[in-house]
Structure formats: C-alpha cells, structure tokens
Amino acid sequence: TTDLKAAFMEAIPQEMERLKMLKKEHGAAVLGQVTVEQAVGGMRGIPALLWETSLLDAEEGIRFRGYSIPELQERLPGAKPGGEPLPEGMLWLLLTGQIPTAEQAHGVTGMLRERSAVPAHVQQVLAALPSGTHPMTQLCTAVLALQSGSKFAAAYDQGVHKSKYWEPVYEDSMDLIAKLPGIAAAIYRNTYKGGARIEPDPSLDWAANLAHQMGARLAPRSDELLCVKIASVGSALSDPYLSYAAGMAGLAGPLHGLANQETLRWVHGVQQELGESPTKEQLRDYVWATLKGGKVVPGFGHAVLRKTDPRYTCLRGFAQRHMPEYPLFRLVSILYEVVPDILMQTGKVKNPYPNVDAHSGVLLQYYGITEERFYTVLFGVSRALGVLSQGIWSRTLGLPIERPKSLTIDAMLQHVASN
C-alpha cells in the first residue's frame, strides 16, 4: 500500500501484543534506581518513559526505529535520486517501523498536500500580532489557533470510545504536520517580508514547499537543506495541537532549541570582534571570556549525549560538500577544534562536543535565510514528525497520563535518614 494510514493500521496489532506481553511478563522488572542527585538534577537519565519512535544513546546519538542518521541518509528515498532523504519517508518509518519505497514516500507527500491549507483565521491571528513578536511565540499561537479544528477534541466531546482515540489523533497529527510549512512560511513573511504571502506549489514536496513559500531568492539546494534539517526529529505528548504547542514552548528556551539562534548570534559576535579569520589563540581567549562572563558557549554540550552529535556531523558533511570555502563554515570548523578542549578544562562540562545547534544556523545563512530569530521555528517544524508520530502511538497503545512524583527537600532527607 502507499496509504500511510493503512500501513500504520497494519502495524497496530503486533505492537499492542508486544506491549501486553511486556506488562504481563516483566511488569515488576526494575529499570533503574533514582538517586537524590537525579531528583534535584532535572530527572536526568531516569529511565521512566515508553518511547517507540527513537532512542538516544549517550555514545552514539539518536537512532530512529533502530536506524542511525547516516544509515537513514543511505536508505530513505530522496526527493531526487541520491538526494537528501524526504521527510515524508521519515514520517512513514516513524509510524510504521518500515523503510518506505519512493512510491510510499510520495504517497505521503500527496496526502499532506491535500491537508495543507492554513485556515484564514490562523493567518489573521498571526497578522494581528505585534511585528516584534518572537517567531516561536508566533508558532505556538498559530498552532493553538488551529486547535479549534481538532478532530480529537470533537470526538472526545462526543464520547468516543478510548480504543478509537488513535484515529482522530492520527488525523489531527497529519493535518498539523501538513499545515506547518504554510504556518512557518507565514510567520517568516509576516516578520521579515512585509506580510505578502506566496501560495504553495502543488508540484512540490513538503519541505520544498516550505522553502518555496518562504520565498525570496533562496539559493538552489535550500530545499535540500531543509530536507536535511527537517529529517532531524525529536520529543513531547496528548490533543495534538495543545501538546505540540506545549512542546514548542519548551523548545523556545535558550538552553534547548533556541540555542540555534543563540549560536549564530555568538558566532557573529566572534566575527565582529575578531574579523573573518581569527587565529585559534584569539578564539580561545574569546571562549574563555564567554565562560568567565557566566554564560554558556551555545551549541556545545548535551544533557544525554557524550560524543559529537550525529546531527552536527550530518550537517557538517552537507557543508563540506556544498560550501567548503564559506567563511562562516570555516569559523565553525575551527571552533570545533578549539572549544571542546576549553570546556574540558572547566572540569565540570560533561559533554564538551558540539550539538546540532552549533551548525544549523551557518547553513541557513549560506542559503539566504539570515534571520536567526526564525531558526527555532524550522527546528520546531521538523520536530513535529517525531513528536506527533509518538503521540499517535501513545494513544494507540492506550498509555496512561504521565505523572512523575515530586518530593520536598524534607521528604528526601527523611527518606535518606530512614534507610
């Protein structure tokens, strides 16, 4: 079949069976223990969530349905033969667990295209926001405005049986994914191009349509870049609009997705102070000055990973192929040689290596998307594929509401004293 919903439905019975078996046979097995340090340290590393679509390994980075990023670049169908993978293929893989054929990926393109129209009221809400509103705030606002059309919320109101939750959640998720390029482009055009909209091109795929609707003399290959970027997926849960908007609000924090924007500002600061080709010695001093100013070096470090982020490596490979002489890329490459040593010398940074945010902005600059406040929106559009796929599975498997337990300092001290 080239119909994603049918392929997804085929995958359901086996997955339900596996979950039932897991609960029945191993329900009492211990996955890990929770230390006081973890409880006061942001729950870092506590194995406490079922998540089928991806797995993050500290050493190796992320795998989607068991495949690493280089493996996916090799195996997922491209927009052009041998080109960068189509995000539509990624969505197929995340939902079904199977690598799609080119026809199946194109089937998803067609299905999304039919759902892609952004309702007029959402455009009006965006247009009504003050022009300086941060693009991530605009994204959350637009998605919440879309929620009025939620099929899940309507089905729930009408008392749908819980075994059928998955279906309206699936429909909402596809509607939302389909509309995100139009929304992101509207935010871009409202904020930076005086508001004039560009209509979607029905001959283009999902990511290419985003590039097209953002418009304005983007260099060739910018659509391929958006494919590379959009294929780097991520994490959240519940009514797809509300939960995605909540996730986006989290992504908008500077230590998380906003690091994208922060990195570019920081790199521009380097260029302004030290010129286009600073020496390593100058860069070392600059990095130390950032640290001594009580600030983080954006784009470096990770809460889980302990190696260079494979998403960084993937974007670096793209830059090596398409813009090896670009000054900003050369600067980012030298930073890769300089920053980790310094972060190690602080003696406290657990992972001194770069993450995806250290690289993505540089590529976008090269292709003419120079407005760094917009970058996290693109990151958010790409993340929709991952979080919404998992959201569909969570409702399909009937997973319960998440409710981690919190403790006071007194409660922890009492617990420690009584053990």
Active-site amino acid positions: 256, 302, 357
According to CB under 6 A, which one of 23, 75, 350, 415 is a site residue for ligand CMX?
350
Q: Which residue is nearest to ligand CMX (CB)?
A: 301
Query: Rule CB under 6 A: is residue 292 a binding residue for ligand CMX?
Result: no
Cβ nearer to ligand CMX, comparing 253 with 398? 253
Contact region for ligand CMX (CB under 6 A) — 86-94, 180-188, 195-203, 300-308?
Answer: 300-308
β-pair type (54-57, 67-68):
unpaired
- Tell whether residue 303 is a contact of ligand CMX (CB under 6 A): yes
Q: Give the binding range for ligand CMX (CB under 6 A) out of 60-68, 145-153, 159-167, 292-300.
A: 292-300
Regarding 256 and contact with ligand CMX (CB under 6 A), the answer is yes
The binder of ligand CMX chosen from 52, 172, 239, 357 (CB under 6 A): 357
Q: Decide: is 166 part of the binding site for ligand CMX (CB under 6 A).
A: no
- Least distance CB 335 / ligand CMX (angstroms): 11
Task: Please state the closest distance from residue 340 (CB atom) to ligand CMX, in A.
Answer: 10
Of 144, 380, 68, the residue nearest 248 (C-alpha): 380
Residue 174 vs 297, nearer CB to ligand CMX:
297
**Closest approach of ligand CMX to the CB of residue 333, in Å:** 17
Considering only 67, 300, 336, 375, the residue that binds ligand CMX (CB under 6 A) is 300
The contact set with ligand CMX (CB under 6 A) reads 255-256, 259, 291, 296-303, 343, 348-351, 355-357
